[in-house]
Amino acid sequence: MVLLFNSRLKLFPGKLKSKWSGPFKVKEVKPYGAVVLEDPNTNDTWTVNGQRLKLYFGGEFERFTTKVPLSDP
């Protein structure tokens, strides 16, 4: 399973949104770094550059938040 880097930031406005989507299943690795991905939910497949992928180790991501109170100087 891998995560796909979303390089089309204009489609997903917002600075705090994640730039990674997925996880996707690797169906085939082609020559010159091309990788065929499969969406496990819809069984759709497409080919992407392998440099846009990173390994997904499973499980939920634990997100930490920090609140910093601001005061006037």
Taking only Cα atoms into account, the Rg of the chain, rounded to an integer number of angstroms, comes to: 17
Q: Is the pTM of this model over 0.75?
A: no
Q: Which of 57, 33, 60 is nearest to 47 (CA)?
A: 33
As a whole number of angstroms, the distance between CA 56 and CA 22 comes to 9
Distance CA 20, CA 48 (A): 14
Mean pLDDT by 10 residues, the chain (73 residues): 76 66 89 91 90 82 64 73
pLDDT for res 60: 61
Residue 16: which region, alpha, beta or left (left: phi > 0; alpha: psi -120 to 50)?
Answer: alpha
The domain limits of the chain are 1-7+25-55
pLDDT of the residue at 38: 92
